[in-house]
Structure 1
Amino acid sequence: MIAPTITYHEFRGSNDVLRNPRAASPRERTKRASILTALTLFLPGGAQITAGSRSLGRIALAVTVGCWFLLLLGITMYFTMRSVLLSALTQPFIMWTGSIILVALGIGWLVLWLDTFRLIRFSQLAPGFKPIIAVILVLLTALTSGGLAYAGHLLNDARNALAGIFGEGAAVQAEDGRYNFLLLGADAGEGREGLRPDSIHVISVNQATSETIIVSIPRNFQNAQFAEGSPMREIYPNGYNCGNECIINFLYTEVHNSYSHLYPEAQDPGAAAMMDAASGTLDLAIHGYVMVDMGGFSELIDAMGGITVESGGWVPYRGRHPETNQWGNRWFEPGTLELDGSDALSFARSRTHSNDYNRIQRQQCVQQAMIGQFTPQTLLTRFTEIMAAGENIVETDLPQAQLGSLLDLAVDAQDHTPQRLTLGAPDFGSAGDLFSTYPDFDQIHARVDELIANEGEDDDAPSAQEPQEQTEPESPEEAADSEGEPPGPTPEHTDPAVAEDEPGEQQTAEASELTQPDGSPLTELYLIEAQQRGEIGILEQAASTNGECSPGN
């Protein structure tokens, strides 16, 4: 009897469990299914080369290697050529191409998973293992293919949002090694004619070191100077100096109503005039502006899931009574506050029973809280909401071509504590000195130059410049003799809100030390009742320290 002849290939095939699992034991088939699943997850195309269509596997493996190469190249560029990488990734065409590629990769990975389902051969698996491997494959398919497709969708949303926020054109060049931008918080409040920027800040960034200076200009700042070459110098050759009719936040509306023809090429003539005023006042070239609509500001904070701040004083606002639910006066208590968008806007806006300087400090605090609490987890989980909110409330003349270099500066700037300066109390005398009404521009320029000169000396130093020594306010007669002009603003206010901004005598009592007549601590209900009774003194004392604010954890 002649024994049957078995070729080498037949022998090898019968023992190749991965490609021919028929003769394998249940344990070996389970191990085979696990290997094919792991290959498709970590080395897409590996399962097909091992146990399926080698041509499909080679194509998938080539794509996989290309993706790993691009990822490693991106990581290398982030640490060596970050500005170039970010500039490339924020270009509209590259973002559009990237979204298409991500969706295509998701579809390709889905094809590989479906083929892996086939290669595993569920009919040959042990009964108890079938549902386990099925659930694992479904979850991994959703995680990988679904994740790539969703990433492509988000990238396309980001492209559309950035196109709606940023303009076209070439990137602007730094001047004297600095980028200077005007940040405006605009508000079309009740009883107002047109939009007004109530929050005015100049952000100056050192191009080489990314160190940052933030200069805050009070909304009731008067006599603002215009930069050389500004068309507004034809109207106000000596600065914006017509008294209370010419506080700086009126400039935006006035230019829109009467002088927009002076800025024929500007997409927002009011913002262009505000840039000229900030430039002349600080003696800094302003390269662009970003304006946030404070009316939609709450949308962005809600999209982030809220913010946390530490408040040092009582902050009045309008809301629903905690007991009766009727609309009226409310107070934020000192301490840790968890704020949604509406509450954060009320907290930042409030100036009743205090002044603009406390308000500026709270605005800066809210801005820092937003930046500090804007985590990658928040961005990933709320990306669509954040992009939609940003597109609705942000206006800027900065070109999208500038975005990459600005992001690069922003990353480096997080390593430095910004220096801060307010054009008024406490950085320029006390609140009673009325520096914002009668500013000394030589002092302002000197302080800005000092901040620039101090860059890099001590990053652990306090972020704000030490305020000038505060002295007792001069009497009206002394002020008239020293200034050569009547002290204080004139009474012809056209906006009742401006009158509230005029700083009065500062209360010295700490809000935490104030008590009710019976010695018990202050409560919100007591302050509401005191407000109804017209007891202004206790209200001003309670609000006197509400500028003390820091971002929460």
Structure 2
Amino acid sequence: MDRARGRRGARAARLQSRRRQRQQRYGRFIGFTALGSLIPGVGLIAAGKRRLGTFLLVMLGFVAAAALMAVVLIPNTRLLSYGGDRQMLLLLGAGLVAAALVWLVVALISHRLLEPDGLPPGKRLGGALVVVMATSLVVAPMSVGANNAFTQRDLIGAISGGASLTTPEIADNKDPWADIPTLNLLLLGSDAGDGREGARPDTLIVASIDTHTGDTTTISLPRNLMGFPFPEESPLSAIYPQGWLKPAGEDDLEYMLNATFRNLPALHPEAFEGSEKRGADATKWAVEGALGIDIDYFMMVNLDGFSAIVDALGGVTMDVPRDIPIGNKELPGGGCTTPRGYVHAGDNQHLDGTQALWFARSRCGADDYDRMARQQCVISAMVDKIEPTRLLTQYQSLAAATKDMVETDVPEELFPALIELMITVQSGTLESLTLDRSFFGSMGTTSANPDYEQLHARIAEYLEPSDPDEATDPDDASDTDTSRATGEDSESDDASADPQADDGAENSVDGSLDSPSATETAPDDTGDNPAGEGETEDELPDDEPVETDAIC
């Protein structure tokens, strides 16, 4: 009996030892499976494949060292600029896909080699789950990176380039700003949409960027500017030697600055032969003639896209000087309908895309010039919000909002340099000039009948680089910029206000940056409101115009 008990005890001890060994083997299997999934080669070495495992570890170390050297030695702006190189994006996306596949295959092979024989189904499933979870920590970010790289490549191809008659010749794409100390970009807000024939860009802003420092000056032009000349190099100069003057009896609205995009290519298609950006070329020539400066490239944003882009950035934060109505429009005979809501006044207000759009576009109870100043506020807030980390986390939604809503004549090979410049802009200064009533009044003119020689001189003076040796107190500089932006350096009265400042277009959600003013005469703009709803040529209530120096 004692012997039988001894045999049973020995058998139990052996079984317990085997269980401990199996548990140890399973624990070792799980541990090396997880480690081999995170670090290719470790699992193979543990499974006895030392040469292959060591080779993979050496290659991984080499790639990691190269990446670290690139981050340390290459400036961040240059690294980010590679996001504009379509060839580099293709290589990056393909490389990440290949690396993810290799990583996954190595993890699966390591798991299979390390798996002990005779594991029950439950433990085998546990091992597989460990592989999936550990590998996803590496493969998932690679997949996101590859997807973003391919999306960025498609985005650049979708919005860029196209034959243009107005883009500068670039001798060296690696240093495109060598001969362009100041880059002038024309930013357009398009009203294209359902129920509208063609596009009429009612938002026109020139961003003049110092290509060395990133210091930027924005100039907001009134859409109702008239009688402007064209630069000598433009074929339109020979057609309109005295400028684009309105013939007697014609509608003013068809000869304003914002009408050039649609009307000039239709009137003179021979002047735009070979161009794929006819409307933009016409508008660039018009702005060049009006301001007396060269316009290098344009970028046009459909207003629905503007709202989506702001949402993709996570909204913007700005000071709202007063309640801004949302969704109202002009009534026949004057006044405005009841808005469906407001962008409420307050400091550091966080606005979503719809609120930011109405802050920029609303004109009921104000005027075009007040709206122009608010648009510059939104641009400044968006520049402040653009950060590399946010772009990475929100990239897919931002790209989706941009692809079908943005158009430009910047060639795709220039995007790396342009992205690098935009990063520099964030560290530079930003000044604003609004060509409003006070600005034209200080010259004794209106936007409907400016003195363009005097306007050219004023713009040249404003854009002249400041003397770096002249130190200026920041508070004083701010005051000076505000005065220049609103034209308050000279006296002006309501008699000099432009009677053509409004077109009376309906202020609707999916329309343009149009909202009829409650302070000016509104000629009938059937182009902006095909249905003609709510339009009137009667003078609207003579409210006091909002002072633009109170904006943000």
**TM-score of the two chains, using structure 2 as the length reference:** 0.74
Q: Does 1:164 align with 2:176?
A: no
Q: Does 1:544 align with 2:541?
A: no
Tell me the amino acid that sits aligned with residue 70 of structure 2: G
Deviations 1:421-470 (CA, angstroms, capped at 9, x unpaired): 12224555579963564245434434433433227565944293533445
Tell me the amino acid that sits aligned with residue 329 of structure 1: P
Residue 39 of structure 1, CA deviation: 5.9
Q: 1:334: which partner in 2?
A: 345
Q: 1:44: which partner in 2?
A: 40
Where do residues 387-536 of structure 1 align in structure 2 (5 Å cutoff)? 387-427=399-439, 429=441, 434=446, 437-454=449-466, 456=468, 460=474, 461-462=477-478, 464=481, 466-467=483-484, 468-469=487-488, 473=492, 488-489=498-499, 500=516
C-alpha distance in 2 between matches for 1:488 and 1:365: 23
Where do residues 113-512 of structure 1 align in structure 2 (5 Å cutoff)? 113-118=107-112, 121=115, 137-167=131-161, 171=173, 175=179, 177-188=181-192, 193-242=197-246, 244-245=252-253, 246-318=255-327, 329-330=339-340, 331-335=342-346, 337-427=349-439, 429=441, 434=446, 437-454=449-466, 456=468, 460=474, 461-462=477-478, 464=481, 466-467=483-484, 468-469=487-488, 473=492, 488-489=498-499, 500=516
- Compared with structure 1, are the counterparts of its residues 496 and 349 closer, same or farther at alpha carbon in structure 2 (3 Å cutoff)? closer
Q: Say whether the 8 Å CA contact 2:367–2:519 is kept in structure 1.
A: yes
Q: Once structures 1 and 2 are overlaid, which stretch shifts more, 457-466 or 242-251?
A: 457-466
Q: 2:5: which partner in 1?
A: none
Residue 351 of structure 1, CA deviation: 1.2
- Compared with structure 1, are the counterparts of its residues 472 and 446 closer, same or farther at alpha carbon in structure 2 (3 Å cutoff)? closer
State the secondary structure of the residue aligned to 2:202: strand
C-alpha distance in 2 between matches for 1:459 and 1:237: 45
State the secondary structure of the residue aligned to 1:434: coil
Tell me the amino acid that sits aligned with residue 294 of structure 2: A
- Compared with structure 1, are the counterparts of its residues 475 and 294 closer, same or farther at alpha carbon in structure 2 (3 Å cutoff)? closer
Runs of 4+ aligned structure 1 residues displaced above 6 Å come to 21-29, 122-125, 128-134, 430-433
Residue 32 of structure 1, CA deviation: 7.9
C-alpha distance in 1 between matches for 2:144 and 2:75: 27
Tell me the amino acid that sits aligned with residue 377 of structure 2: C
Identity of aligned residues (%): 28
- Compared with structure 1, are the counterparts of its residues 372 and 383 closer, same or farther at alpha carbon in structure 2 (3 Å cutoff)? same
C-alpha distance in 2 between matches for 1:459 and 1:265: 50
- Compared with structure 1, are the counterparts of its residues 434 and 297 closer, same or farther at alpha carbon in structure 2 (3 Å cutoff)? same
Deviations 1:465-488 (CA, angstroms, capped at 9, x unpaired): 533445554586xx7xxxxxxx85
**TM-score of the two chains, using structure 1 as the length reference:** 0.74
State the secondary structure of the residue aligned to 1:214: strand
C-alpha distance in 1 between matches for 2:473 and 2:268: 43
Tell me the amino acid that sits aligned with residue 49 of structure 1: I
Tell me the amino acid that sits aligned with residue 53 of structure 2: G
C-alpha distance in 2 between matches for 1:297 and 1:193: 20
C-alpha distance in 2 between matches for 1:149 and 1:450: 49
Deviations 1:26-54 (CA, angstroms, capped at 9, x unpaired): 6797578546634652x432332354423
- Compared with structure 1, are the counterparts of its residues 156 and 488 closer, same or farther at alpha carbon in structure 2 (3 Å cutoff)? closer
Q: Say whether the 8 Å CA contact 1:289–1:396 is kept in structure 2.
A: yes
State the secondary structure of the residue aligned to 1:389: helix
Residue 401 of structure 1, CA deviation: 0.7
C-alpha distance in 2 between matches for 1:34 and 1:436: 78
Residue 112 of structure 1, CA deviation: 2.5
- Compared with structure 1, are the counterparts of its residues 89 and 370 closer, same or farther at alpha carbon in structure 2 (3 Å cutoff)? closer
C-alpha distance in 2 between matches for 1:424 and 1:122: 80
Aligned pairs, number: 480
State the secondary structure of the residue aligned to 2:450: coil
Residue 144 of structure 1, CA deviation: 0.7
Tell me the amino acid that sits aligned with residue 101 of structure 1: G
C-alpha distance in 1 between matches for 2:234 and 2:299: 19
Q: 1:528: which partner in 2?
A: none
State the secondary structure of the residue aligned to 1:145: helix
Structure 1 unaligned residues grouped into runs of 5+:
1-20, 321-326, 480-486, 506-534
Q: 1:516: which partner in 2?
A: none
Deviations 1:505-538 (CA, angstroms, capped at 9, x unpaired): 9xxxxxxxxxxxxxxxxxxxxxxxxxxxxx957x
Deviations 1:94-141 (CA, angstroms, capped at 9, x unpaired): 32222111111111111222234345547899xx99999876543221
Q: Once structures 1 and 2 are overlaid, which stretch shifts more, 378-387 or 283-292?
A: 378-387
